[in-house]
Chains A and B, each alone.
Chain A
Amino acid sequence: AQSVTQLGSHVSVSEGALVLLRCNYSSSVPPYLFWYVQYPNQGLQLLLKYTSAATLVKGINGFEAEFKKSETSFHLTKPSAHMSDAAEYFCAVITGFQKLVFGTGTRLLVSP
């Protein structure tokens, strides 16, 4: 069965610092991977997705993620955090039956 694991339920950074949110996947077939973000009182919004076209995927709001098969990882990064990045971030893998399997989420806290 396909799954993802997010390391760290909470990550705290200062404004302007590097953001690194970790996601490792488990899959017996080449995975399709997603990062979603949930801002307070809103639904989940797609940040980016990996569909095997390129290992480095650029998303919205300056985020990017790199697919590393050797490490079974798909970590999310942003060079410089902004206060508006404070939200909960979810890594997910999609199965062949079109259902998303989510990690437990990582809440990003950004301090001034």
Chain B
Amino acid sequence: EAGVTQFPSHSVIEKGQTVTLRCDPISGHDNLYWYRRVMGKEIKFLLHFVKESKQDESGMPNNRFLAERTGGTYSTLKVQPAELEDSGVYFCASSQGADRVTDTQYFGPGTRLTVL
């Protein structure tokens, strides 16, 4: 069974440009999460999808970030326009059940974003 995949693995962009990150969850997983780790800091929650609906987007930094999950399958996270402080590693995770808090979240390898 394929794990969570993320694309690209690395992205280097100039300040003001747009970048789109993609996450493909494990097949059949209803829950999809985005997290971010800024250099030297803890991994922080960004948002949570249940199927195609946003369940919780309380961690989204500002309106430059837009997340979508088309048809309840893959998800994209767009940053527009990118700022220097957006640099970090963006992780995607997925889990199976919709109601079980303790379901394991399976993480992808992350996308390392560098904004110059």
Interface presence of B11 (CB below 8 A): no
Beyond A42-B109, A43-B109, is A102–B104 a contact (Cβ under 8 Å)?
no
Shortest A41–chain B CB gap in Å is 7
Beyond A43-B4, A97-B56, A100-B35, is A49–B104 a contact (Cβ under 8 Å)?
yes
Shortest A62–chain B CB gap in Å is 19
B48 and A104: CB pair below 8 A? no
Count of CB-CB pairs between chains A and B under 8 Å: 58
Interface presence of B114 (CB below 8 A): no
B59 and A99: CB pair below 8 A? yes
- Which residues on the B side are within 8 Å of A97 (C-beta)? 48, 55-56
Shortest A10–chain B CB gap in Å is 12
Beyond A99-B45, A104-B42, is A43–B102 a contact (Cβ under 8 Å)?
no
- Which residues on the B side are within 8 Å of A103 (C-beta)? 42
Beyond A98-B31, A99-B59, A103-B42, is A46–B104 a contact (Cβ under 8 Å)?
yes
Q: How far is the CA of A100 from the CA of B92 in the complex (A)?
A: 12
Q: Using CB atoms, name the residue of chain B closest to A104.
A: B42
Q: Using CB atoms, name the residue of chain B closest to A3.
A: B42
Q: How far is the CA of A32 from the CA of B105 in the complex (A)?
A: 13
